[in-house]
Amino acid sequence: MGPHCNGTVMVFLSSTLIFLGILIWKQHQKRAASYGRYSLKSSTTKILIPANVGWFVQELPSFAVPVLLIYQSGELDHLGSKLLLCLFCGHYFHRVFIYGCFTRGQVVEIFFVLKCFVFCALNGYLQGHNLIYCTKYNGWTTDFRFLFGLMLFLLGMAFNIHSDHLLRKLRKPGDTSYKIPKGGLFEYVSAANYFGEIVEWFGYSIATWTFPAFAFAIFTSLSLGSRAIYHHRFYVEKFQDYPKSRKILIPFLF
C-alpha cells in the first residue's frame, strides 16, 4: 500500500459503480438510455451537439485524469503498474482521439454528455488512483492472472474496435439510418461491440486483480448488457430478414 492510498474512497467509489450499474439495469427495464437510436428528440428545450464533439468531451477525463495523476505522482515503481495504466489509458486514447473523432453517430444532448463527463472523471480517478497508490505489482508481469487478463483485454479490445469499425462503415457521412450489421462477431450477436467492451474490462479486472477494476467490469456488463437487449429487439422489429440465429450479446449463449 502506497502512503497516499485512500482506501475508503476507493471502496466507496467502487461500490457506487456497482450500485449505478444496477440502477441503470433497472431503468433499462422501462426505457433505454436516451442517446443514439433511442434519443428523445421531441423536447424543444434540449441542446444538441455533434456526436464527435460529445464523445470527445465526455470520454476525455477517463484519459486525462489518470495521465494527470501519473504526472503528479512521478515515476511508477513497477513494470506491472506501468503496463496496466497503459492499457486503461490506451483504451481511452482510442475512444477519445480515434473513435470520438471519426464516429458517424447522430447528435447527442448536452446534458447526457455532461453526465458521462462526470462519470468518466470519477472512474478515471478511481482506476488511476487505485493503480498508482493502492497496489504493488512486484513481479506481477509473469503472474498467470496478469497474462490471462492481458490476453482477454487485448482480444476484447480487438473485437470492440473491429465491431465499431463495421458499424461506422454502414453509413456515409451525414447518414443517420440503421442497417443490418454484417461481418465479424456481428454474424453471431447483435451487440458485438458491447461484447468486446465487456470482455475487455473483465480482462482488465483479472489483470489488475483489484475491486475498482472488477466494479467497472460489472458496471459495463450491466449497462451495456441491458442496452444490447434493446438493440436486438430493434433489429428484429425493424428488419424482417434479420438473421434468426443471431444472439443478443454472447455468441451461441445469450
Ligand X SMILES: NC(=O)c1ccc[n+]([C@@H]2O[C@H](COP(=O)([O-])OP(=O)(O)OC[C@H]3O[C@@H](n4cnc5c(N)ncnc54)[C@H](OP(=O)(O)O)[C@@H]3O)[C@@H](O)[C@H]2O)c1
**Which residues contact ligand X by CB under 6 A?**
36-37, 51, 103-106, 160, 164, 167, 170-171, 176, 178-179, 181, 193-194, 197, 220, 223-224
The residue among 109 and 197 lying less far from ligand X, judged by its C-beta, is 197
| Shortest distance in whole angstroms from residue 102 CB to ligand X | 10
What pairs with residue 247 in β-bridges? 189
Q: Which of 151, 191, 198 is nearest to 32 (CA)?
A: 191
Cβ neighbours of residue 226 closer than 8 Å, sequence gap 6 or more = 24, 25, 28, 29
∠ CA 231-233-235, nearest 5°, is 70
The residue among 91 and 140 lying less far from ligand X, judged by its C-beta, is 91
What does the chain come to in residues?
254
| Shortest distance in whole angstroms from residue 76 CB to ligand X | 24
DSSP for 132-159? HHS---TTGGGSHHHHHHHHHHHHHHHH
| Shortest distance in whole angstroms from residue 58 CB to ligand X | 10
| Shortest distance in whole angstroms from residue 1 CB to ligand X | 28
The residue among 51 and 140 lying less far from ligand X, judged by its C-beta, is 51
CB atoms inside a 10 Å sphere around CB 182:
11
The residue among 138 and 176 lying less far from ligand X, judged by its C-beta, is 176
| Shortest distance in whole angstroms from residue 201 CB to ligand X | 7
The residue among 141 and 184 lying less far from ligand X, judged by its C-beta, is 184
Spatial separation of the C-alpha atoms in residues 67 and 73, rounded to whole Å: 10
3-class secondary-structure state, position 48: strand
